Amino acid sequence: MTKTDDTIRVLIPLQVRKKNGRPKIMPPADHRPSEDLAQDPHILRAIGRAWAWRRRMEAGEFATIQELAEAVGLPERHVSRQLRLAYLAPEVLKRLTCGREVSAVSLYDLCFLAGEAWGEQVGRAVCE
């Protein structure tokens, strides 16, 4: 049996925040990420889906975003917003998909960044 004097209490400073709708434990502010860090799978999946939708629309499979949304079973607003990711600047896509950097932009903000000119997209801070 342990006595109350034998108890060790360990405190770990952490914050829990939501990222892409999921809880994520945030490291301390002075933490430097390691080199083997991978890209955000939610962002990669959304970019891949946007490119697939773009190809299907360009092939004439769907005439409108509404038809595409009905076919994939998602709200039209969601499809419209995420379809913008297929029009990100090549440099931004390269940094998001090939770079080993932590994404500083949420998927939601990235959808609106895609509506800007390519020069402005690259100029804005996409990765830390």
Integer angstrom CA distances of residue 77 from 4, 15, 65, 68: 57, 32, 9, 11
pLDDT digits (tens, 9 = 90+) for 68-92: 999 999 999 999 999 999 988 888 8
Q: What is the pLDDT of residue 32?
A: 65
Q: What is the pLDDT of residue 2?
A: 56
Using DSSP, state whether 59 is helix, strand or coil: coil
Type of residue at 59: A
Type of residue at 104: A
Identify which has the larger pLDDT, 9 or 123: 9
Using DSSP, state whether 74 is helix, strand or coil: coil
Cα separation, 49 vs 118, in Å, equals: 20
Tally of CA atoms within 13 A in the half-sphere of 77 that contains its CB: 1
pLDDT digits (tens, 9 = 90+) for 24-54: 877 777 766 554 455 778 888 999 999 999 9
